[in-house]
Chains A and B, each alone.
Chain A
């Protein structure tokens, strides 16, 4: 054991903890200042209050935007998960020509600048003569969510034991029956995880919605509009806090489900009952 090694082993955990603090610190300031009894986010805090949250409750414009985001998120999550199920199944189970380039195109939005995705969608929608609405936002969000759905579903489908399905068919179950009674219970956690992850992404997504939403704003677009007014910052912080908590809860559930999916397909095999 040299001195370098000892020093490294001592410092690495401390550095890792610092890194996590760097990641969380600025984000946690939003909830902190959303409870601050002052219009500006300055230290020390002026006192505790819930008034910014109370103000949100009567804000029709905000509630309308939240409702829009919920609809877009639900539709985008459903569509991208359905497309993702097919794609992930194809990738984990079959060998075929063109697998790599085809999946590369599906995954491409993950590494492209979002503004490129947004303006190309905008041009196509306008060229097709579609008017901008929540539908165009949803179409764009499906494109953004699909790679994430694929990642979650592929990790859930990998190691899926084919012989379970074959056994079911051999024992006389029909194809739809096998799907419903064998395949679905095994992959259900991964599917739910994909729904939650893509809903979260769509709900928080800004750039594509910024270019593709017409007169109906989503929640991030509403927040963007509010940022121009310094006096509205506290209520934006309160709204942001609610969104942060929502994302955190959904992503935690998604991760727990994804792990259960991995455990089910790899170790337990078939669930009881």
Chain B
């Protein structure tokens, strides 16, 4: 707003062309968006460039040697531990994003097609947990799955098991469950939005022309909601691949993910260039996986018709 005011002030002093330019849509739009844009430019884009630069450098104790090298990438790509962590992170984020989407789709469908006047209330109720502390939501799973946790004591109370089991916590499935739960609400929104855009008269037409509900769904609703499905998968897949909290709290040694290795390079191990190379590799890998997922989903949706 202050920008608008100051540009309005400048208009009074300017002349001719300058005045027309300052009054133009372009100048006002750019003037207003630039504070936020510059902020993101300086504190997101430049820092990411700096991370990429670091990934080609080396570190000797506290000094950074700025000669170009691919050594960090060689290490990130060939050392078995990093290969394992990368592969596990990718598999976990793929499983979590697809599970989350499959679980969320029917709910989004129900709200969009049968929500009636309560649509906004449903959406709000579903979104509320998403706004609470992520750390606390993951911690809740520790309470559920732990050795002395709710699941164990519940099962023992029911007489289904005789002694507490260690099998629930500190492994990859625990990470998948906690992550699916953490992202479940967020996946609903894009699917819901795309379902809202489905033209209901197309469904009536399909029914009039003799399509059953399942066929109408596969041939109209599903293809038209594909953008939402894809958005839901991506919006879950990309952040989860770099999740740090969940593997640390419920993953144990078997559920460690790549973010834990990245954090170690910036903390204890203090090898920033290797940490940077691991980060860049993760981003490239998850982008490639996201691209492949989108392609195969489009192919699936086409062949389902």
Contact = CB atoms under 8 A, between A and B. Distances in A.
Chain A interface SS verdict (over half) = helix
B160 interface: no
A73 interface: no
Interface stretch (B73-81, B137-145, B166-174): B137-145
Nearest to A219: B133
Given A13-B114, A244-B132, A106 B36 contact: yes
Given A26-B181, A113-B241, A43 B157 contact: yes
Interface in A209-245: 210-211, 220, 223-224, 227, 236-237, 240, 243-244
Contacts of A248: 128, 131-132
A194 interface: no
A112 interface: yes
B43 A143 contact: yes
B157 A204 contact: no
B36 A86 contact: yes
A157 B139 CA distance: 37
Contacts of A95: 25, 29
B252 to A, nearest CB: 14
Interface in B124-182: 124-126, 128-129, 131-137, 139-141, 143-144, 146, 148-150, 152-154, 157, 181
A119 B266 contact: yes
Nearest to A30: B140
Nearest to A44: B157
Interface string B11-41: 0000000000000011011111101110111
Contacts of B114: 9, 12-13
Contacts of A211: 263, 266
Interface string A18-44: 011011101101100100000011111
A120 interface: yes
A102 B104 CA distance: 31
B5 interface: yes
Nearest to A206: B135
A260 to B, nearest CB: 13
Size range of the interface on B?
35 or more
A26 B140 contact: yes
Contact of B32 (A24, A89, A112): A89
Nearest to A251: B131
B138 to A, nearest CB: 9
B127 to A, nearest CB: 8
Interface stretch (B105-113, B194-202, B220-228): B105-113
A140 B128 CA distance: 24
A207 B244 contact: yes
A20 B279 CA distance: 35
Contacts of A252: 128
B96 interface: no
B51 A206 contact: no
B45 interface: yes
A2 B213 contact: yes
Contact of B249 (A91, A119, A227): A227
A146 B36 contact: yes
A204 B150 contact: no
Contacts of A40: 148
A108 B44 CA distance: 9
Contact of B26 (A89, A96, A140): A96
Contacts of A44: 153, 157
A121 B37 contact: no
A173 to B, nearest CB: 13
A89 B133 CA distance: 30
Interface string B40-59: 11011111101100100000
Which 6 pairs of residues, A with B, have the shortest CB-CB distance? A113-B242, A94-B29, A96-B29, A120-B47, A90-B32, A204-B133
Interface of B: 1, 3-5, 8, 25-26, 28-33, 35-37, 39-41, 43-48, 50-51, 54, 103-104, 106-107, 109-111, 114, 120, 122, 124-126, 128-129, 131-137, 139-141, 143-144, 146, 148-150, 152-154, 157, 181, 184-185, 212-214, 234-235, 238-245, 249, 259, 262-263, 266, 272, 275-276, 279, 282-283, 286
